[in-house]
Structure 1
Amino acid sequence: MQCYIYRSKHRHQTYLFLPKKGDFSEVPESLVKLFGEAEFSFTFELNDTRKLMLADSAEVLRNINENGFFLQLPPGDKTRF
């Protein structure tokens, strides 16, 4: 799956992983507001064996398939969205 990564300009080390570039339609409006302005960072091919620095690739894929997005928070951040 091609994955598009957006970083929050307002929340340090907070990223949204999306399956379609620029398509935030599956992200809840309340999360979009909390996330703030999104800046496109990069794209990559995501599969369940790819190594990611702060997340399990299988979990990221599952979240994208079930919810339409994956939210990555900074390490240790327990914020509830």
Structure 2
Amino acid sequence: MHCFVYASLRKADTYLWLARRDDFGVLPESLVLMLGDLRFVLEVELHPGRRLPMEDARTVLEHLVTQGWHLQLPPSETLATANHPAYTHHTPHDSEDE
């Protein structure tokens, strides 16, 4: 699959992968607000066996096929720790078992 990668100018080391170039209309508004301005950085042919330095190619491909985009956050950050409003999955706290 041919895909396109953009760097967030607001959040360091945060990248947005798109299935179609400049197809920002597929993004949730909250994600657009979080990322701010984007800079095109890479056009790449992606397949399940391709090795990526920070992401699993199969996961990226799955997201591109199902939603048209994939968000790559810095290794130590998740949507939950980024306090991202689009994060809707809540996990139970371990402290509740005490």
Answer whether TM exceeds 0.5 for this pair. Answer: yes
Aligned counterparts of 1:76 and 1:14: Cα–Cα separation in 2: 11
Shift of 1:67: 1.3
Shift of 1:78: 2.3
Task: Within 5 Å, give how 1:1-80 maps onto structure 2.
Answer: 1-80=1-80
RMSD: 0.9
Aligned partner letter, 1:63? H
Structure 1 residue runs of 4 or more that deviate by more than 2 Å after TM superposition: 78-81
* Identity level (%): 37
- Between the two proteins, the alignment pairs up a number of residues equal to 81
**Where do 5+ consecutive residues of structure 2 fail to align?**
85-98
Aligned partner letter, 2:16? L
**Normalised TM-score (structure 1):** 0.95
**Normalised TM-score (structure 2):** 0.79
